[in-house]
Structure 1
Amino acid sequence: MDKLYELWIDNKKLCITVIIIFLGLSSIFIVFILKKESTENKDSLNFSKSSSETVIKSDTNTADKVKSKKSQEISIDIKGAVKYPGVYVLKNGARVNEIVKKAGGMLENADNNQVNLALILQDQNVVYIPFEGEFSNSLTTTVQSSSKNVTDTTATSNGQSVSESETHKYDINEVTKEELETIPGIGDKKAEQILAYRTEHGRINQLDELKEISGVGDKTFEKFQMYLEVSP
């Protein structure tokens, strides 16, 4: 024990120096460890934040792409003289010829001379391809909008339209053959039959009398009755 004490006395300064150096190094080591952990935690937080922002940005881009794709598409309902009537999705700016192809093309008894295949379509349009004898107006395609604020219209090759609410009605007792031929559902033959019936029976008092003409059934009558009237 005495030897240890003597050794301590002889090397007191050296021991104190070693202890101070050890404590200094320990302090430096502890500070380094704490700083490293703080840096790692900060990097981890930044990585997590960056990952979250990347996911949110990716989801936003995906939603924008889906929205953009939808805005570039239009839904069109085609009816009449085509093989497969129905609703088809087309690109925005599509024309009548594209919806006709989608629907399998026109039937043999379709009056393609009255169809404006170059007409540009809009979303929710209803396209009607007439059968032979239904229309006499040249290059006409019936395009109806399903919008509540837009009335049914007949779109022509020059972009004009005629509202059903503004349909001109002819007096059945005064109408001429040429005027009859402009009415949907009445062709040259039916126009002659109507005039012949009027000549034979005299004044027509009710439009229903036209059903007595051969070939004029309920469906045919419904097509043209809105264009005719009996004046007092």
Structure 2
Amino acid sequence: MHKTNKLIIFALAVLICGSIYYMSDYMPDYRPESMTEMPDAGTTDAELQNGKNDTALQESQPELIYVYVCGSVNEPGVYEVREGSRVHELIALAGGFAEDAYTLSVSMAKTVTDGQTLYVPHLDEAEDDVAGSRLSGSVTGDDDIYGQKTKININTASVEQLMTLKGIGESRARDIVDYRTRNGSFKKTEDVMKVSGIKEAAYSKIKDDICVK
């Protein structure tokens, strides 16, 4: 009986060793998820804090936006600025006002938005009425000094000015200019629908922003 017990104990020991060997060779390596997120042993508290600060700084930085500056500026073009930038910053990037710029129409402190067209009118675009304080056929994306939105005169507006209208790209703006050149001035705003490519849906988007004079 004593000899039998020894054999049983020996068999159990062999079975346990075999199980351990099998598990070490065939079971996948397992580490708790929390261990994979542990910092390296050489990482100091200061380095960890700096990493957190860098992440917070990146998240707090304003996004980049793009604004098209044109009209009476020295260097018209598309400029990349931080969200929340002001009109005066864009004018400076565009080389400042040209000599013939009608500066009174531009709200220098206003915040610009992504995709905005910032048009600076020329002096000869100022109307004679109201002491030249309002514009005819031009738009800057701002309200005039009386708090009313200036409208684009489709009979005199340039291609650049027409491009500030919703849904009007360069090709469609040139079509408007070509149409009035061939057929004469528009009699009413609805006449713009006579231009190829401008139907009722397109007109409904711009009707409140245009005029004829």
| Higher-helix-fraction structure | 1
Higher strand share: 1
Q: TM-score, normalised by structure 1?
A: 0.43
TM-score, reference length from structure 2: 0.46
